[in-house]
Structure 1
Amino acid sequence: MNKKSILKSYYNDYIRDISIVFLLLLPLIICNAITLFVGYALKWVDFSELANYFFYFSNLLIGIYPIALCLITSYYIATKHGVNAMVVVPYSLLLLIAVSVPNGLVSDHNGLPNNPLVALLSAMIAASCCISFRLFPLDPSRLDFVRTLYKHVFHFFCFLLLAVGLEELTKIVIAFSQNIDNYIAPNPLTFYGGLTYQFILGLLGAIGINGHNFLFRTKQQLFEVTQQNIADWQAGEAPLNVLGQGFYDAFLSMGGSGNMISLLFCILLFSKERRHITLALSALPLVIFNINELLLFGLPIIFNPILIVSFVCVPLVSFVVVYGAISSGLVHPVTTIVDWMTPPFLSGYVATQHSLSGVILQIIVVVIGIVIYRPFYLHYAGKSRSNNTSISQQYELGRSTLKSFLGDVNQAMTSYVSKHDISRRVSRMLNHGEFVMFYQPQINLSQGKGLSFESLVRYKDVDGKILPPLFIQDFQQLGAMKQLDKMVIDLVLKDMQKMPLDNGCKIAINVSAETISDKHIVAYLLERLSFYAISPLNLEIEITEEAILEDDKLVSENIEVLQGLGITVAIDDFGSGYASFPHLLKFNFDKVKLDRTLLRNIEHDREKNLYQLLAKISEVTGCILVAEGVETEAEKQFVQQCGINICQGFYFAKPMAFNDALTWFKNV
């Protein structure tokens, strides 16, 4: 995989997910914006006491935002990787608090962590630690509960040490950033300093950091100097500066940071995406009052490599245009600091001594912003710019290359909701009812008695009803097959303690691709065999052909080690659709189980000849052959004629509960 593909894969797997997380928090962000707007509106009409309540709620929403971001990110990443979120959440909260409180990254109003970037990183680091070691919730019913408990304790203690280290690292980063701020802090009262100031604000905003908070001292000094300069100008003691707080508020934050009103008009004018138009119309009432969160997080801008460029560039170009227009005398200078929620065009009129030139300049800036945003937005929305491409081709091309983010969100959220439902279903099964093992015998036709059993997991609900193994797909989608396999291994080995194994009977356990390619599976099997006092000679491991496509080197090593211990290794479902024959030459299996689908049409010559050909592979490989799915007397006679003596299927016995399997074994 080339670097471009790796970066694209990384973006699709992680960066886009972060955008989805921000989208999940969109209701909180919109509520905060509306609450703040109502508060200012009430204050404007002189209902100050009532306005203070809304400001209180706004501070509350802002205060819980980083914690909510941390929790939802933890939950989302954990669910995506099949790890129980209840394991990850305590880790992420611990790290967020451990890093924030000692470094003063808390709100003055409520003492809660107030840095969204720290919250995001805390969740990602905590989730990575839990995913890497695959911790699962403690289950007191397991025999190895105490051992697992100490494993959790050890892991948590190590994470505490990591949290301490990250807290110290954060302290160093903060001190370093303060030193940088002292030496290279931009001076927004100069042309190049203003460009730098605006550039930093844009970059920080693009990754979810409030740049005004980050450059608080610079902004505070800008405000104070602007106030003093306006007072001196009014007293006739000094000329009016071109650059000041009013300059930035009136012309570089129209519709919010990034001059987002230009992006909103760009969507309404040029978008053919109905969802984007709906989003823009919904954001319009807020953008008019310079509240841009709905577009910032809903489109989104944050962590979007395409739109970040225009988001940063539009204010820079606007800065140059406005500075040139005012310094050349074409537009009246800014003589007042307008309230940041003053709508665009009105703010230009008020800021420039009630001059229409300020309004015209704002219109020009908005149009320039639309022109800059347009190609980036169209590229993001997946529109083709070729005039020779038909509408249907445009649709297919845009769909196959650059889908709109909201389309991706819809797909991702559908998957997310589906996984959430699956997770709840699996959790319900683990806590109510029980998993039990059924056993289907493999008959040796030459000896006429049971040679071994294949174990098959089933679920018994609280009413005692046995359900088919459809739940296995749920574990697969959650990435929890290793957890299921380990549970099955325990159940089977516990049953084997009561089985008559002294006559060479073997019990086969099916393991997934994830399990057989796990470097720790052999050690786990040895530990479990020792715990239950079961000889490896009585155990058989069945793997599917799919498994050896995962990591053939590690799978090959695991197979060799298992065979060295005396454990039989069989390839299951042979001939079911994968490149079967090369696998037999590459891996030294003890047993090959021919897939039952191969017997379905043996009345036809083609299928019969194929089965007879497959039956000869034992002559080349030395493997024992097992015919799966034998259901009729004719099929039994056919496989026997092919030289296969070991059969498994409904003709001999269906999968049976443990006690029934013991009875069957004794009566054979």
Structure 2
Amino acid sequence: MVKLPSLRSCYDTYVRDISIVFLLLLPLTICNAISLFSGHFLNFAEQGELAKRFFYFSDLLIGVYPTALCIITTYYLSSKHNTSPMVVIPYALVMFTGISIANDLVAPHNGLPNNPLIALLTALIASSWCVAFRVFPLDPSRIDFVSALYKQSAHFFGFLLLTVFFNQVVGSIILESDVISGNLTLNPLTISGGLFYQFILGLLGSIGINGHNFLFRAKQQLYEDTKNNLDAWEMGEAPLNILGQGFYDAFLAIGGSGSTMSLLLCILIFSKDKRHITLALSALPLVMFNINELLLFGLPIIFNPTLIAPFVLVPMISFVVVYGVMALGLVNPVSAIVDWMTPPLISGYLATNNSIGGVILQVLVIAIGVMVYRPFYLHYAGKSNIDARAMIRRHALEKSTLTSFLGEVNQSMGGHVNRHEVSQRVGKMMTRGSFVMYYQPQVNLKDPSDVAYESLVRYRTDDGQIVPPMFIKDFHQVGAIKQLDELVIDLVLQDLKRLPLSAGCRVGVNISAESVSDPDIVDYIAERLYHYGVSPTSLELEVTEEAILEDHVQIRQNIEILQGLGVKVAIDDFGAGYASFPHLLKFNFDKVKLDRSLLLNATEERGQNLYQLLAKISEVTGCALVAEGIETEKDVAFVESCGIDICQGFYFAKPMPLEDAVGWASNKSVLESVKHA
């Protein structure tokens, strides 16, 4: 039974992933904040033209951010699941761009997609699609390039249909949200309306959506009503409202949306995480001007289930506190709309008509915010009542910071270069030289006429040199192992015609995890047996324990169908380190091949006892047993004493070309010598 991951494990994985993605985007975020700050500073210094240039760069970075988020997220998710980002990123960009343009989710001034939530969702969908239905980078040098091209085209067309579906879903959601927004009557000048207004702003901001754009009409109306009230108050025609634009800007967004000045101080006071402290110190100069992107994306806050709660809650608590204090007349009501980049304390002083009470009130609000953020932050940071094991988990999370991720990126990039080199090697092998089969006998000590072999693939270069099967891992790495398996099956079936099939000769073929779990492998083997006119009883498939850790249901079905055709199925490398015995209960194997490592450990009594115990498997399962790795006469004597009759190893013969294998089988003197060994 597969053990499902715990909620804690899923949460840790999610936080790690979202942190890594946003950490990589920090340079872009920091540059945007600096550009914005520089523009406002230059405006203050009456350098308007130069300020426009910095505002242009800020707008550009803001416009590029969602697309960069889509690319980085796709890159990370695909790399994490061993899928080539070169394949997945175009899928994600097509879906992201298509959905954004079709639903007018683009910036009006540059036409770039501008919704980070859609960026994340499309990255997730594209990565999931390409992991579930794997395709690999096209390589023109591969022999199967044309078929791979058509396969990938069909794969991409299926994804386009999925894009159309999600486009309709997003369109419907946007239509409903527009209806809701249009029918949403918010009045930020009332207590209930103001709390709800602040709640919506915080909730949308916590998932990367600009709430002020969503509530544009309410925001615009708030500004106009505030200006009218201030003008009327200055002329003595109306009392000064407590609630207004200045109230929200000066007291509910101290340090930026979510009152993140409180979070920053919470980190500096209570955190023991060096990375978080460094991040807070780096963000401090920007947060002082209410620019909080560094904290939003560095911790991160957005899309973080733990920190979203205080991010939304703190401004609402501040609303109640500030309104109550002003309503009681303890602090002057806000009588000015200050620029949103005015530093905290200064903004409180100016907003309350140069009153020190406004400064004290901001300090109170910040302090309350620190205490509200504290339990949530400590829970997120893993510092609240943790034991030694939790500390170990925390240490593992710390390794997922920017430094380690950059190392992962470098390693991954190096891996892509390496895979390209591997792909080149594999392509060269498929177009030059040739693959040949070598055969190693499996000797029956009691019946020398029983002839069986294990086939082993080799590569012959153009100049005739034989290369050992180290190249198999290359085929695995570039996703071409099934092509190699099919090629090997063809070569073996061709060679079988020259072996003494009439004497009941059988040949075993090693098959990979990808092939043995492929629903099409049965039809392929049946068709090739018919094509070459070879009896299924002459073929054995050798499946490793590692392979059957994959899809139990499909593998069992494939094994049963093949056995129904007459093909024998063996489990190879039995006892090499996986869950051996449960496999014998789940699958009806015809043969069990005991791994060489078991024999090496039989030099001591415990190893001998284990080997003797394993030798009794045949009595329980009815499987034939093969002792692998026989290299000495002592090995022969030991396995024979254990009741094992079939042996394979260098003592009898090394893997040999077909011609030598044919000669070995027909050499009666060899067989007789084996009989008396």
Deviation at 1:598, TM superposition (A): 1.6
Deviation at 1:512, TM superposition (A): 4.7
- Among 489, 504, 512, the alignment partner of 1:493 is 489
Distance in structure 2 (CA, Å) of the matches to 1:111 and 1:41: 28
Letter of the structure 2 residue corresponding to residue 212 of structure 1: H
Deviation at 1:140, TM superposition (A): 4.0
Deviation larger for 463-472 or 165-174: 463-472
Counterpart in 2 of 1:427? 420
Q: How does 1:30-109 map to 2 (within 5 A)?
A: 30-109=30-109
Counterpart in 1 of 2:448? 447
Q: How does 1:585-604 map to 2 (within 5 A)?
A: 585-604=585-604
Distance in structure 2 (CA, Å) of the matches to 1:423 and 1:98: 28
Counterpart in 1 of 2:305? 305
Q: Sequence identity, in percent? A: 56
Contact 1:188 1:243 in 2 (8 A): yes
Does 2:263 correspond to 1:263?
Answer: yes
Does 2:133 correspond to 1:133?
Answer: yes
Distance in structure 1 (CA, Å) of the matches to 2:184 and 2:86: 44
Distance in structure 2 (CA, Å) of the matches to 1:136 and 1:54: 42
Superposed CA offset, 1:297-316 (max 9, x none): 11111222222111111111
Superposed CA offset, 1:574-623 (max 9, x none): 23344544533442111110011121143434433433343343344332
Q: How does 1:188-587 map to 2 (within 5 A)?
A: 188-385=188-385, 396-400=388-392, 406-409=398-401, 417-432=410-425, 439=438, 441-445=440-444, 446-447=447-448, 451-455=452-456, 469=470, 472=473, 483-496=479-492, 498-502=494-498, 503-504=500-501, 506-513=506-513, 515-519=515-519, 521-523=521-523, 536-587=536-587
Letter of the structure 1 residue corresponding to residue 136 of structure 2: F
Distance in structure 2 (CA, Å) of the matches to 1:532 and 1:21: 54
TM-score w.r.t. the length of structure 2 is 0.87
Q: How does 1:630-645 map to 2 (within 5 A)?
A: 630-645=630-645
Distance in structure 2 (CA, Å) of the matches to 1:132 and 1:376: 36
Superposed CA offset, 1:505-551 (max 9, x none): 55544445565445555456557777888765554332233444555
Distance in structure 2 (CA, Å) of the matches to 1:427 and 1:462: 25
User: Tell me, what secondary structure is at the counterpart of 2:657?
Assistant: helix
- Which entry has the higher C-alpha Rg, 1 or 2? 2
**CA RMSD after TM alignment:** 3.3
User: Tell me, what secondary structure is at the counterpart of 1:74?
Assistant: helix
Deviation at 1:239, TM superposition (A): 2.2
Contact 2:141 2:424 in 1 (8 A): no
Distance in structure 2 (CA, Å) of the matches to 1:57 and 1:535: 73
Superposed CA offset, 1:309-368 (max 9, x none): 111111111111111112222111112211111111111111111111111100000000
Change (3 A) 1:308 1:559: same
Contact 1:80 1:416 in 2 (8 A): no
Distance in structure 2 (CA, Å) of the matches to 1:325 and 1:521: 76
Deviation larger for 57-66 or 458-467: 458-467
Deviation at 1:99, TM superposition (A): 0.9
Contact 1:256 1:292 in 2 (8 A): yes
Deviation larger for 639-648 or 232-241: 639-648
Contact 2:26 2:297 in 1 (8 A): yes
User: Tell me, what secondary structure is at the counterpart of 1:452?
Assistant: strand
Contact 1:632 1:651 in 2 (8 A): yes
Letter of the structure 2 residue corresponding to residue 290 of structure 1: N
Distance in structure 1 (CA, Å) of the matches to 2:119 and 2:227: 36
Deviation at 1:256, TM superposition (A): 0.9
Deviation at 1:217, TM superposition (A): 2.4
Deviation larger for 183-192 or 112-121: 183-192
Deviation larger for 627-636 or 333-342: 627-636
Deviation larger for 606-615 or 286-295: 606-615
User: Tell me, what secondary structure is at the counterpart of 2:40?
Assistant: helix
Deviation larger for 28-37 or 161-170: 161-170
Change (3 A) 1:554 1:102: closer
User: Tell me, what secondary structure is at the counterpart of 2:91?
Assistant: helix
Residue ranges of structure 2 left out of the alignment (5+ in a row): 430-434, 665-677
TM-score w.r.t. the length of structure 1 is 0.88
Contact 1:247 1:334 in 2 (8 A): yes
Counterpart in 2 of 1:391? none
Deviation at 1:553, TM superposition (A): 3.7
Deviation at 1:65, TM superposition (A): 1.0
Q: How does 1:614-633 map to 2 (within 5 A)?
A: 614-633=614-633
Residue ranges of structure 1 left out of the alignment (5+ in a row): 386-393
Change (3 A) 1:580 1:567: same
Letter of the structure 2 residue corresponding to residue 499 of structure 1: D
Change (3 A) 1:166 1:136: same
User: Tell me, what secondary structure is at the counterpart of 1:499?
Assistant: helix
Distance in structure 2 (CA, Å) of the matches to 1:404 and 1:238: 61
User: Tell me, what secondary structure is at the counterpart of 2:573?
Assistant: strand
Distance in structure 1 (CA, Å) of the matches to 2:184 and 2:94: 34
Change (3 A) 1:374 1:539: same
Counterpart in 1 of 2:667? none
Distance in structure 2 (CA, Å) of the matches to 1:379 and 1:340: 31
Distance in structure 2 (CA, Å) of the matches to 1:140 and 1:80: 26
Letter of the structure 1 residue corresponding to residue 356 of structure 2: L
Deviation larger for 61-70 or 510-519: 510-519
Deviation larger for 84-93 or 30-39: 84-93
User: Tell me, what secondary structure is at the counterpart of 1:34?
Assistant: helix
